[in-house]
Amino acid sequence: MLINFILNHNPVSVDAPADITLLALLRDHFKLTGTKEACEVGECGACSVLLDGELANSCLVAAPSVMGRDVVTIEGIHAEDGGPNDLQRNFIEKGAVQCGFCIPGMVIAGEALLAIKSEPSRLEIREALAGNLCRCTGYMQIVDAIETTAKGRAEKPHPEKREN
Amino acid sequence: MTNLKFVGHPAQRVDALDKVMGKTKYVGDMSLPGMLYARTLRSELPHARIVKLDTSPALKVPGVVAVVTSADFVNHSNFGFPISDMYMLAYEKVRYVGEGIASVAAETPEAALEGVNAIICEMEPLPAVFDMAHALDPDAPQIGPDRSDGKHPNYIGHYPVYKGNPQEKLPQCDVVVDQNYETVMQEHAYLETEGGLAIPTPEGGVVVYLSCQSPFIPRNDLCKVLGLPADRVRVIVPPVGGSFGGKDDLNYQTAGQVAALALKAKRPVRMTFSREESIIASYKRGSMRMNIKLGADQDGTLRACEFRSLYDSGAYSSQSPFTSWRASIHAMGAYRYEDCTVDIDTVYTNTGYAGAYRGFGNTEVCSGIEQAIDEMADALKMDPLEFRLKNCLKVGDVTPHGQLLSESVGLSDCLLAVRKMSDWDRKRKEFANQSPSSEKRRGVGVSALFHGTSLGAEGLDEATATIEIHADNQVTLTSGLTDYGTGARTVYTLIAAEILGIQPERIKVHNPDTNTAKDSGPTVASRTTILAGNSVRVAAQNLLQNLDWAAADLLKCDVYQVHRVSEDYIGPSKEPVSWDIVVKHAREMGLVLSAFGRWSAPQIHWDEEKGTGTPYFAYHFGAQVAEVEVDLKTGHTDVINIWAVHDIGKVIFPQGAYGQLYGGISHGLGYGLYEDLDYQNGYAQSINFDTYLIPTAMDMPEIQGGFVEASFSAGPFGAKNIAEPAMVPTAPAILNAIANATGRRIRKLPANLERVMLGKELTKKGSPFSCKVALKIT
């Protein structure tokens, strides 16, 4: 079937089977491999995307259900020049990245939180990350990166655009 | 060690940018034109004879291109080290649920699965043994290979440490503790599942991109089972999505399967596992049953330890001979004893199989001995931290193995640091006075550890690095040891930058590749910083020497008169010349701009019969304190705080070292509180993250970490290691905190709700259902 939606700020139209997940649509049909497959039961968050701005596990979303909606993947998160945005830079600075497999999902989860909460507490950050598993980091430096970004964005009158 | 510019300073991880942008390509993200998808038929029985295996129906499935079985390999695909008891695909028998039997390559993953389900595989179920205590019964079914020494085929080995005679000493001690402790299997739970991509080469060889730790092992295995010379098999390690010890043996089988399929189909073949397939088929941390007897005098002097244990390796020996040996060396903990013996026996069963996992035997024994030490302190009415300080190893002590510790023993400093950071003395007093009627109770517990660095007497211990300056003046490094998420590449980069005096941005570390890197042994045992780090240091020094000659020539002075400021070389004339000009001049002089660095670990020795020697050339030390709140109504334990101070020698990459510390603690917290890969009659009862729970961001406390840098003279800049030992003391610290909070000991891991609330396990009935379904459909 033909599925029309907004993918990383551009309208797209794709002919895909109706019985696949959004995760499979992104990885197999758009070759956007930044969104990871790790459990396929909605437990790990490695496949996180922003669906109409909200955090979603793309492995639990039926591909046809994104018709007419807005999907942002990790490939759609960057600074205006295409480099890392402030959140991604803080992941690097704070040492939040190890094997990196969960990191696209973590960045997405961080953006989803910061879109609705400008200065979250560390506990609120932890709550927002509770659906995203990381086996490497113990989460400390990921929380640090999101906390630092929140402070940075709160201090700036015009927070850096996270997408273009 | 003064004026270090890069080592020990904040640095950016060299591979982090691509990872935060989602650009990093793991095996499952790679694809090639004409690539086929592979899937493996896996055993649904824990022990069975293969009566009939007919793969012809699979080849009739539309889209299926090739099928392989053990018959497609040399010597039935037999491999394995140190015991060759495994096969790339099962030969004659299967020994655990999930064992690979035949592999199918097809145009789509769906066709590959259909092909697998079309294979006719008739099995004759064999009697199985699941309880390690009965593995060596005279009538136990044979799991291990035939052996000629008259010993039971299910017997893997005996691992002793012998100092004196604790059986005679214990009755002379004022107080004796005699307790049993038990640990269960733990799943690595790397976020990226197993996978490999094989590409046939024009000359009849194969290139395999393999998510693994030690590429030279599968390269050598593939040569053997495919009958190919070493120059026809190339293994490349792409970015690895976590491993923790877990991406060896099983994924070597993946390598064998995709390589054989690619050679047969003459097309690229990729295999990636579903989570269910990963958990069912993969090896785990093995389970252990321990009996520990400790003797001490009323003044708090620890005198004797007698440790006996059984270790369950499951269906294959994998790394268990080495795991058991490391367990034996660390079983008595980091303490002085007059008399100490350790006896560990390791056996085969049909319960999955056990292999390498972070801590590698020490995680298991530490959970036992560190509880026993606490129980002894309780019996002596001594503060457990004070008791550890009184008895722990210090510089100048001789370990129970007979090794004199001459340097780099920072354990007392670690214990003193966590005592202060955690406000230990006040909390112990305060929590002793909690109302007995309160449902929520607080407690603090401590645990100490030592952890031998690198392979120890397990094998030859050396590593090689190469370094080269290219035409555009970029510097590249290779190492035979991999970075599977640990940060090792950044460590290499910082060491080379420090030696050469150039910005880290100039240096690029290649992916580990058996065609370009030198075999440096396995990437295990937290050996990368010392072994590979030292080899990078030596390579960079060898290269630097040539640049120094070029600089002296350019500056018209002697080599000893040249010194460096930032990237500039300065001679007696004080006129600086840049690094780039020196490199150009070296080229013009005909000096070689590449170098090789090999570093061999100091000689050590272990006598396997007498149980004495020098097991490791250096030790990591550490101490952790956990603070918990236990809800007696539900049995839920909330870990509120963890303080962790480890002696890792010189810290080279601080963000990376803290990351390893925090991450290790998360594995230890899961191990202590809820992780239990339970098998019932050989069937795994949790096969995805909905039932196998690992710590989330909400489960992890804010961790206060710190490092004692007790410099190790042979380490690069004095560094030792961090990866494995970060997790080792966490579970016993939490268990000791629960005992402090509730007054009750939980001697079998994990301290889950029922054990905390009821003090016992609930009876569970297992089911083979989910394993059987998952192997057919997901």
Whether A161 is in a domain gets the answer no
**Of residues B240, B242, B690, nearest to A41 (C-beta):** B690
- Per-residue pLDDT for B525 more than 70? yes
Chain A 35-74, residues with CB within 8 Å of chain B CB atoms: 35-41, 43-44, 46, 73-74
- A66 shares its domain with A10: yes
Taking alpha carbons only, the member of A84, A108, A97 closest to residue A34 is A108
Least CA distance to A125: which residue of chain B? B697
Rounded (10°) CA dihedral A3, B777, A130, B653 = -100
Amino acid present at B362: N
Whether A35 is in a domain gets the answer yes
- B579 shares its domain with B620: no
Q: Do B190 and A130 touch (CB under 8 A)?
A: no
- B305 shares its domain with B393: yes
- B270 shares its domain with B291: no
Residue A153 pLDDT grade (very low, low, confident, very high; cuts 50, 70, 90):
very high
Residue B714 pLDDT grade (very low, low, confident, very high; cuts 50, 70, 90):
very high
ipTM: 0.97
Local structure of residue B88 (DSSP, 8 states): S
**Which chain A residues are within 8 Å of B655, Cβ to Cβ?**
94-95, 141
Q: Do B191 and A93 touch (CB under 8 A)?
A: no
CA B446 to chain centre: 23
Q: CATH no. for residue B197? A: 3.90.1170.50
Q: Do B659 and A125 touch (CB under 8 A)?
A: no
Interface check for A113 against chain B (CB to CB < 8 A): the answer is: no
From A28, A55, A76, give the residue that closes a domain: A76
Question: Backbone phi, then psi, for B119, in 5-degree steps?
Answer: -60, 135
Taking alpha carbons only, the member of B337, B365, B543, B532 closest to residue B449 is B365
- Mean pLDDT across the stretch B122-137? 98
Taking alpha carbons only, the member of B725, B719, B632, B665 closest to residue B437 is B632
Interface check for B503 against chain A (CB to CB < 8 A): the answer is: no
- B625 shares its domain with B712: yes
Whether B651 is in a domain gets the answer yes
**Which chain B residues are within 8 Å of A129, Cβ to Cβ?**
696-697
Total domains present in chain B? 3
pLDDT of residue B458: 65
Q: Do A100 and B485 touch (CB under 8 A)?
A: yes
- Per-residue pLDDT for B1 more than 70? no
pLDDT of residue B361: 98
3-state SS assignment for residue B749 = coil
Least CA distance to A142: which residue of chain B? B697
The tally of CA atoms less than 13 A away on the side-chain side of residue B66 is: 22
**Which chain B residues are within 8 Å of A135, Cβ to Cβ?**
188-191, 242, 244, 663, 666-667, 694
- B466 shares its domain with B434: no
- Mean pLDDT across the stretch B479-488? 93
- Residue A66, min C-alpha distance to chain B (Å): 22
Query: Choosing among A98, A126, A143, which should be mutated to test the B contact, i.e. which has the most B CBs within 10 A?
Result: A98
From B600, B622, B654, give the residue that closes a domain: B600
Query: Choosing among B19, B652, B693, which should be mutated to test the A contact, i.e. which has the most A CBs within 10 A?
Result: B19
Q: CATH no. for residue B552? A: 3.30.365.10
pLDDT digits (tens, 9 = 90+) for B376-424: 999 999 999 999 999 999 999 999 999 999 999 999 999 999 999 999 9
- Per-residue pLDDT for B778 more than 80? no
- A93 shares its domain with A40: no
From B230, B265, B282, give the residue that closes a domain: B282
- B665 shares its domain with B745: yes
pLDDT of residue A97: 98
- Alpha carbons B63 and B752: distance in angstroms, whole number: 47
Whether the CB-CB separation of B246 and B15 falls below 8 Å is answered with no
- A139 shares its domain with A90: yes
Question: Backbone phi, then psi, for A59, in 5-degree steps?
Answer: -75, -15
Least CA distance to B688: which residue of chain A? A39
**Of residues A37, A84, A96, nearest to B17 (C-beta):** A84
From A76, A108, A133, give the residue that closes a domain: A76
pLDDT digits (tens, 9 = 90+) for B661-684: 999 999 999 999 999 999 999 999
pLDDT of residue B465: 97
Longest dimension (CA), chain A: 47
Least CA distance to B22: which residue of chain A? A34
**Which chain A residues are within 8 Å of B240, Cβ to Cβ?**
99
Q: CATH no. for residue A94? A: 1.10.150.120
Domain of A68, in residue numbers = 2-76
- Residue B323, min C-alpha distance to chain A (Å): 22
Please give the mean pLDDT across all residues of chain A. Answer: 95
- Residue B694, min C-alpha distance to chain A (Å): 8
Interface check for B192 against chain A (CB to CB < 8 A): the answer is: yes
- Residue A130, min C-alpha distance to chain B (Å): 5
pLDDT digits (tens, 9 = 90+) for B227-269: 999 999 999 999 999 999 999 999 999 999 999 999 999 999 9
Please give the mean pLDDT across all residues of chain B. Answer: 96
Which pair of tokens denotes residue A68? 């007419």
Interface check for B664 against chain A (CB to CB < 8 A): the answer is: yes
Residue A162 pLDDT grade (very low, low, confident, very high; cuts 50, 70, 90):
very low
From A76, A97, A131, give the residue that closes a domain: A76
Residue B762 pLDDT grade (very low, low, confident, very high; cuts 50, 70, 90):
confident
Residues in chain B: 778
pLDDT digits (tens, 9 = 90+) for B151-164: 999 999 999 999 99
- Mean pLDDT across the stretch B82-97? 97
Interface check for B19 against chain A (CB to CB < 8 A): the answer is: yes
Q: Tell whether the torsion through CA atoms of B326, B331, B334 and B339 is positive or negative.
A: negative
Chain B 688-707, residues with CB within 8 Å of chain A CB atoms: 688-690, 694-698, 700, 702-703
pLDDT of residue A161: 47
Task: For residue B403, count CB atoms less than 10 angstroms from its CB and return exposed for 0-12, middle for 13-18, buried for 19 or more.
Answer: buried
- B580 shares its domain with B724: no
Q: Do A97 and B16 touch (CB under 8 A)?
A: yes
Taking alpha carbons only, the member of B526, B471, B525, B536 closest to residue B499 is B536
- B365 shares its domain with B437: yes
pLDDT of residue A116: 96
For the beta carbon of residue B559, count every other beta carbon within 10 angstroms: 14
Whether the CB-CB separation of B143 and B153 falls below 8 Å is answered with yes
- Residue A121, min C-alpha distance to chain B (Å): 13
- Residue A150, min C-alpha distance to chain B (Å): 17
E strand or H helix at B195: strand B195-200
Rounded (10°) CA dihedral A50, A52, A57, A60 = -150
- B582 shares its domain with B611: no
Q: Do A140 and B703 touch (CB under 8 A)?
A: yes
Whether A163 is in a domain gets the answer no
- B207 shares its domain with B66: yes
**Of residues A100, A129, A130, nearest to B239 (C-beta):** A100
Interface check for A94 against chain B (CB to CB < 8 A): the answer is: yes
From B600, B631, B650, give the residue that closes a domain: B600
Whether the CB-CB separation of B248 and B661 falls below 8 Å is answered with no
**Which chain B residues are within 8 Å of A124, Cβ to Cβ?**
none
Which of A93-97, A136-140, B185-189, B452-456 shows the lowest per-residue confidence on average (mean pLDDT)? B452-456
- B628 shares its domain with B484: no
- Alpha carbons B709 and B718: distance in angstroms, whole number: 8
Q: Do A43 and B689 touch (CB under 8 A)?
A: yes
Helices B730-742 & B362-379 angle (0-180, nearest 10): 30
pLDDT digits (tens, 9 = 90+) for A45-99: 999 999 999 999 999 999 999 999 999 999 999 999 999 999 999 999 999 999 9
Least CA distance to B242: which residue of chain A? A99
- Per-residue pLDDT for B106 more than 70? yes
Interface check for B671 against chain A (CB to CB < 8 A): the answer is: no
Least CA distance to A90: which residue of chain B? B20
pLDDT digits (tens, 9 = 90+) for B595-647: 999 999 998 999 999 999 999 999 999 999 999 999 999 999 999 999 999 99
Q: Cβ contacts of residue B214 below 8 Å, gap of 6+?
A: B248, B482, B521, B522, B523, B524
- B387 shares its domain with B508: no
Query: Choosing among A26, A75, A102, A140, which should be mutated to test the B contact, i.e. which has the most B CBs within 10 A?
Result: A140
Whether B181 is in a domain gets the answer no
Whether B184 is in a domain gets the answer no
Domain of B383, in residue numbers = 287-456+606-758
- Alpha carbons B656 and B668: distance in angstroms, whole number: 18
Chain A 133-152, residues with CB within 8 Å of chain B CB atoms: 133-143
- A23 shares its domain with A58: yes
Whether A31 is in a domain gets the answer yes
Total domains present in chain A? 2
pLDDT digits (tens, 9 = 90+) for A116-132: 999 999 999 999 999 99
pLDDT of residue B459: 72
- Mean pLDDT across the stretch B194-209? 98
Bridge partners of residue B309, in order along the sequence? B290, B344
